[in-house]
Amino acid sequence: MDVAIVGIGIHPFGRTPARSGLQQGAHAARLALQDAGVEWGDMQFAFGGSASAGSADALVNELGLTGIPFINVANGCATGGSSLIAAYNAIKSGQYDVGMVAGFDKHDRGAFNADPKELGIGDWYGEVGLMMTTQFFAMKIQKYMHDYAISHNTLAKVSEKAFINGSKNPNAWRTKPISVDEIIDSTMVSNPLTKFMFCSPAEGGVALILCRADHAKRYTDAPVYLKGATMKSRRFGSFEVFAPSQALQQVDGPTVDASNAAFEMAGVGPRDIDVMQLQDTEVGAEIMHMAENGFCEDGEQEALIQQGATHIGGSMPVNTDGGCLANGEPIGASGLRQVYENVLQLRGQAGDHQVPGDPTLAYTHVYGAPGISAITILQR
């Protein structure tokens, strides 16, 4: 039994002082129900996640107390992907016919301040100033630039593209294009990455309605099928965020593992993908994730990005809605935003950020602490 996505809803990302994170989640949930032509009372189950805006299952207070099982998922940046996998399996197993996946969040301004203890690391690690995701991403791209000759200009071009795409997306946070020079000259945060090369914690909500594929046409003329959904944690030897040490012998990270598993599950390869949303918490991540997900060889990004291949009209459009860079990262909602965008793309409803050529296969990827990755492959 295949699984289809038959309804999608989003609350605009960015800052919405008048609404709590929960209310943003409820807004997205109502739109998703409306999109599928169903009522909350039709939902047989729900999975949801929120990192900083309360329990996802508090959504029932907004949507109605119907008695369904609503399970909270907490998996860092992979929360949305993990919720989706849980829902996929719930339907695939035959237990349920139709249900909801929801994610929302509302974070304070500024970088996340993680607690080492929650990850089993000593207090000293945070006290001396190593408990910073920004440092990891900076050090990973620093090494990658050294090994594969990626230029600073290419780093900036990733942000430039993100803000251009954001300007075409009415639900994005950052909607004003910023020049390459302005990006390079903005405040240095963690060398080589400047302020405009990082995404920020933000707010937003996304909800999806999933059902058995053979019921999909009851809800929509344009179902999108979940052909692959995988999540992996790190193996020994991969270079990960919040690691006081790493092994001398390096192995592939969880992105590579989750990506390989997703392609195998879907029975397709990287060359078949028409549009991709890759975790871009900063520009280096997008560059490295292009190769880690199999879309190019290490080092090819320099030419691809300089040639504009990752733009909406390019040969491999990446982060067509502006990605995390233009939308910010509300952790609970971020991975589902990628899926929302891909459903729009596959339905041909993405408006100014629609990729040309009637895309049929779309790919999402998230990466997060302490070394996890989740992938989805969607097909119309």
Binding other proteins (rule: CB under 8 A), the pick from 142, 175, 233, 360 is 142
Q: Which stretch binds other proteins (CB under 8 A): 95-103, 142-150, 161-169, 308-316?
A: 142-150
- The Cα-based distances of 42 to 31, 38, 156, 219 in angstroms read 14, 6, 47, 12
Pick the closest to residue 167 from 9, 325, 49, 356 (CA basis): 325
Would you count residue 155 as binding other proteins (CB under 8 A)?
no
Binding other proteins (rule: CB under 8 A), the pick from 71, 74, 119, 130 is 130
Would you count residue 64 as binding other proteins (CB under 8 A)?
no
Would you count residue 89 as binding other proteins (CB under 8 A)?
no
Q: DSSP assignment of 75-130, as one string?
A: BTBTHHHHHHHHHHHHHHTTS-SEEEEEEEEEPPSSS----GGGGT--HHHHHTT-
Would you count residue 243 as binding other proteins (CB under 8 A)?
yes
By CB under 8 A, how many residues form the interface with other proteins? 37
Would you count residue 109 as binding other proteins (CB under 8 A)?
no
Binding other proteins (rule: CB under 8 A), the pick from 132, 262, 278, 287 is 132
What tokens does 126 get? 């945070």
Other beta carbons within 10 angstroms of residue 176's beta carbon come to: 9
Rounded to whole angstroms, the Cα distance separating 303 from 211 reads: 41
Would you count residue 157 as binding other proteins (CB under 8 A)?
no
Rounded to whole angstroms, the Cα distance separating 237 from 247 reads: 5
Of residues 132 and 224, the one with the C-beta less far from other proteins:
132
Would you count residue 111 as binding other proteins (CB under 8 A)?
yes
Rounded to whole angstroms, the Cα distance separating 237 from 250 reads: 5
Q: Which stretch binds other proteins (CB under 8 A): 108-116, 209-217, 266-274, 342-350?
A: 108-116
* Residue 117 Cβ vs other proteins, minimum distance, rounded to whole Å: 9
* Residue 36 Cβ vs other proteins, minimum distance, rounded to whole Å: 41
Binding other proteins (rule: CB under 8 A), the pick from 17, 67, 94, 129 is 129
Other beta carbons within 10 angstroms of residue 168's beta carbon come to: 19
Q: Which stretch binds other proteins (CB under 8 A): 35-43, 184-192, 305-313, 314-322?
A: 184-192
Other beta carbons within 10 angstroms of residue 195's beta carbon come to: 13
Rounded to whole angstroms, the Cα distance separating 29 from 343 reads: 16
Binding other proteins (rule: CB under 8 A), the pick from 189, 258, 268, 290 is 189
Would you count residue 202 as binding other proteins (CB under 8 A)?
no
Report the residue count for the chain. 380
Rounded to whole angstroms, the Cα distance separating 165 from 354 reads: 10
Would you count residue 372 as binding other proteins (CB under 8 A)?
no
Residues in contact with other proteins by CB under 8 A are 110-111, 113, 115-116, 122-124, 126-132, 134-135, 138-140, 142-143, 146, 187-192, 236-237, 243-248
